Amino acid sequence: MAQILDGKKISEKIYTEISEIVQKKYAQNPPKLVVILVGDDPASAVYVSNKEKSCHKAGILSQTIRLSKNVSEEEVLKTITTLNIDESVTGIIVQLPLPKHISPEKVIMTIDPQKDVDGFHPENLGNLYLSKETEFLPPATPAGIITLLEENTIEIAGKNVAIVGRSNNVGKAISLMLLNRNATITVCHSYTQNIDHFLKNADIIVVATGKKQMITGEMVKNGVVVVDVGIHRHENGTLCGDVDFESVSLKASYITPVPGGVGPMTVASLIKNTLRAHEKKWKSRIF
């Protein structure tokens, strides 16, 4: 039976570490994270609430700007621009998804890359192409996955990694971050033929497809490390991921649960990025 990669436990450790740094170095000028929430989507409201609670644990100031679902795109962009020039604001997040009349691309491009703690701006994504050392504000979910592996002393260098899913902010980004750590990467997607071949040869599998329980135990080898990014709700209200936990956990050496695996690490990475942005801002100041 696989050991659990406990994202909740590690995230709490991260908040304690960040809180100590903030108290020691930035007690008089703590980092501040501002979240813009457009509309009244219940899931988004829960995510934002979790971010507020996490900020409190880490000693970071938080503010949520709530806008109507009918707000104009122009007004959203204007709000971001105001936050960009506000010296008291360290990080800016616009909670996704957005109403259809607001372009996520325009929103992301408007956020100052130095305050883009989601790591979605092309400048921050581009930094992943250069080296491990240039990963200034990496996308939160891939960064959380890396931390989850490293905190459990799971070797990355020299390992065969299969990534299922090729989204910009998860699949492509985590492939670059793992490549920066000397893994051998295969990215599988909807056009990949004989996907079982790649999965059965993988030492580590990262699944981010948005398809409920598509990876089963018969598709993986014994001893594999499995990271499940997906989250879905059964008709009875219980949650599951892109991986069939019951069958895969019988063969894996490590596996993330859903919930409690990647999700908490994503939020912790947002908070860690906020501290990183704050430290860079203060190092660049001239007194």
The yes-or-no answer on residue 213 being catalytic is no
Q: Are 184 and 156 in contact (CB under 8 A)?
A: no
In a domain, 22, yes or no: no
In a domain, 1, yes or no: no
In a domain, 158, yes or no: yes
Q: What are the CA-CA distances from residue 198 to residues 33, 186, 187, 205, 218 (Å)?
A: 40, 7, 9, 10, 13
Q: Among the options 32, 51, 172, 251, which is catalytic?
A: 51
Task: Tell me the CATH number at 192.
Answer: 3.40.50.720
Q: Among the options 95, 159, 172, 272, which is catalytic?
A: 95
Convert the pLDDT of each residue in 33-87 to its tens digit. 999 999 988 888 888 999 999 999 999 999 999 999 999 999 999 999 999 999 9
Q: What was the pLDDT predicted at 287?
A: 36
Q: Which two tokens stand for residue 156?
A: 């990355």
Task: Tell me the CATH number at 66.
Answer: 3.40.50.10860
Q: Among the options 6, 116, 118, 203, which is catalytic?
A: 118
Bridge partners, 63 (sequence order): 34
Q: Are residues 259 and 143 in the same domain?
A: yes
Q: Are residues 74 and 172 in the same domain?
A: no
Q: What was the pLDDT predicted at 281?
A: 85
In a domain, 152, yes or no: yes
The yes-or-no answer on residue 24 being catalytic is no
Q: What was the pLDDT predicted at 237?
A: 84
Q: Are residues 100 and 148 in the same domain?
A: no
- Write the secondary structure of the chain as one string of H (helix), E (strand) and C (coil): CCEECCHHHHHHHHHHHHHHHHHHHCCCCCCEEEEEEECCCHHHHHHHHHHHHHHHHHCCEEEEEEECCCCCHHHHHHHHHHHHCCCCCCEEEECCCCCCCCCHHHHHHHCCHHHECCCCCHHHHHHCCCCHHHCCCCCHHHHHHHHHHHHCCCCCCCCEEEEECCCHHHHHHHHHHHHCCCCEEEEECCCCCCHHHHHHCCCEEEECCCCCCCECHHHCCCCCEEEECCCEECCCCCEECCECHHHHCCCCCEECCCCCCHHHHHHHHHHHHHHHHHHHHHHCCCC
For the entire predicted model, the pTM comes to: 0.94
Domains contained in the chain, number: 2
Q: Which residues of the chain have pLDDT under 50?
A: 285-287
Q: Considering Cα of 12, then 155, then 120, then 101, what sign does the dihedral take?
A: negative
- Give the domain range for residue 191: 139-263
Q: What was the pLDDT predicted at 286?
A: 40
Q: What was the pLDDT predicted at 284?
A: 57
The yes-or-no answer on residue 118 being catalytic is yes
Q: What was the pLDDT predicted at 113?
A: 97
Q: Are residues 46 and 107 in the same domain?
A: yes
Q: Are residues 145 and 106 in the same domain?
A: no
